[in-house]
Structure 1
Amino acid sequence: MLTRKQLELLDFINKRVTRDGVPPSFDEMKDALSLRSKSGIHRLITALEERGFIRRLAHRARAIEIIKLPDALDKGLAGGFKPQVIEGDKVDPPRNAMPVALGHAVELPVMGRIAAGTPIEAISEVSHNVSVPGGMVDANSHHYALEVKGDSMIDAGINDGDVVVIRETSAADNGDIVVALVEGHEATLKRYRRKGNMIALEAANPAYETRMLPDDKVKVQGRLVGLIRTY
């Protein structure tokens, strides 16, 4: 799955290659996506290459080859990660929100706030409970909820003030959005990637740098399975 910014960049490159026969420059990409620096473009390009959508050709300027396009571009849609969203009363849902069949509700403890930005102190106390659709959780696993603080995951559809539903687990696959405990006392919500004996905690906002840590400094506390937003 691609984030919104990754999809926008891939779409822009594809359109320019189709029109001009050559990809745009990094400055043109930066301007097209309204980013403040080219470092954000470098991260997006690297992510697209890692996911197999493009290939950079060595020793050639502006040499980017489109390998494949996601279904979202073929259909002319904006895509990326789409968490399950419980709709608020009397307000139309977001354009890209995934509909949820409520069914029976399950009460989950809200364990406090999780930082989608600079890591905050680890969370261990229940502040209140929240009702979530039964279909959002696995009856054989333990789940909890956290309130999001910060904007580092906005391109994954996770905003400041959202409540994320987390399935408790100590394991994660590359690309999962996880609750990570850093050095035993900081908790953060980030995309997880293992690179040898290092763990990359990636933001979904070009304004934030990826944090690289030795694997013994990061413990996965859970994986994102849903999201609740009120209006």
Structure 2
Amino acid sequence: MYSHLSDKEIQAVKLIRNFILHNGRTPSVRELMKGMNYKSPRSASVIFNILEEKAILKKKSDGGFLIVDFDIPEEFGTRAQTVKVPLLGNVACGIPIFADENIEAEISISIEMIKKGYRYFLLRAEGDSMDKAGINNGDLLLIRQQQDAENGDRILALIDDEATVKEYNKSNGMVILKPKSNNKIHQPIILRSDFKIQGIVENVIKI
């Protein structure tokens, strides 16, 4: 797919890819300009347009860009069998997690990590409320979308339109969402039915 790109265009795609991984959004024209050491924002804007014309980037409804194929192989040849999983950017309160405008990229994930019949997505972990469970700030979380959970599952819950990752525990008609953290500021959240389970954290990807 990338054999038709110039070295500069591949460099730009790599820069955009890494920026999305670490910042949860595509770079602005000026941020791409700086990363590419251009002297004019027009040069960066031209790169964006070229990558869109070549179907590497796709413009979203909010004006940002989605990377159509996130992987850039070092050699253009055969690949392991993969499926594309959307990486969702930061979600503002009240905006549905699965809205198209939240998709920042589509990342190829090995089919060995995916269970058939489920929808998956990736989110970036924020904060340290689950560091004792192996989830650190900036990690990518591979989440299997479903609305039920078992005790001990690490779940993505939607509470008052805010998403949070916690350990799920249900007992005596109550649900306790437990943090797993060395930081004592994080406390359990006790609920009944006033929340929604959005999915289960299946894998933590360190970047």
TM-score range, shorter chain: 0.5 to 0.7
For residues 214 and 151 of structure 1, the distance between their equivalents in structure 2, rounded to whole angstroms, comes to: 21
Matched-pair contact (CA < 8 Å) for 1:198–1:214: yes
Aligned residue number for residue 156 of structure 2: 179
Structure 1, gaps ≥5 residues long: 1-101, 115-119
Aligned residue number for residue 204 of structure 1: 180
For residues 108 and 135 of structure 2, the distance between their equivalents in structure 1, rounded to whole angstroms, comes to: 19
Structure with the larger RCO, 1 or 2 (CA within 8 Å, 6+ apart)? 1
Matched-pair contact (CA < 8 Å) for 1:197–1:214: no
For residues 195 and 212 of structure 1, the distance between their equivalents in structure 2, rounded to whole angstroms, comes to: 13
Q: Secondary structure, in 3 states, of the residue corresponding to 2:103?
A: coil
Q: Secondary structure, in 3 states, of the residue corresponding to 2:125?
A: strand
| 1:144-176 deviations in Å (ceiling 9; x for gaps) | 111111111111111111110001110000100
Paired amino acid for 1:202: K
Structure 2 length-normalised TM: 0.54
Aligned residue number for residue 54 of structure 2: none
Q: Secondary structure, in 3 states, of the residue corresponding to 2:112?
A: helix
Matched-pair contact (CA < 8 Å) for 1:182–1:218: yes
For residues 170 and 135 of structure 2, the distance between their equivalents in structure 1, rounded to whole angstroms, comes to: 22
For residues 160 and 209 of structure 1, the distance between their equivalents in structure 2, rounded to whole angstroms, comes to: 14
For residues 155 and 111 of structure 1, the distance between their equivalents in structure 2, rounded to whole angstroms, comes to: 24
| 1:18-41 deviations in Å (ceiling 9; x for gaps) | xxxxxxxxxxxxxxxxxxxxxxxx
Matched-pair contact (CA < 8 Å) for 2:131–2:182: no
- Choose the corresponding residue for 2:141, options 164, 188, 205: 164
Q: Return the offset for 1:112.
A: 2.1
For residues 227 and 212 of structure 1, the distance between their equivalents in structure 2, rounded to whole angstroms, comes to: 23
Aligned residue number for residue 189 of structure 1: 165
Q: Return the offset for 1:227.
A: 2.0
Please say if 1:153 is aligned against 2:130.
yes
Aligned residue number for residue 109 of structure 1: 86
Matched-pair contact (CA < 8 Å) for 1:111–1:127: yes
For residues 186 and 204 of structure 2, the distance between their equivalents in structure 1, rounded to whole angstroms, comes to: 24
Alignment of 1:19-168 (within 5 A): 103-113=80-90, 121=93, 123-124=97-98, 125-168=102-145
Structure 1 length-normalised TM: 0.49
Aligned residue number for residue 204 of structure 2: 227
Structure 2, gaps ≥5 residues long: 1-78
- The two structures, once aligned, show a CA RMSD in angstroms of 2.0
Please say if 1:213 is aligned against 2:203.
no
| 1:116-164 deviations in Å (ceiling 9; x for gaps) | xxxx736332122222221111121111111111111111111111110
Matched-pair contact (CA < 8 Å) for 1:198–1:212: no
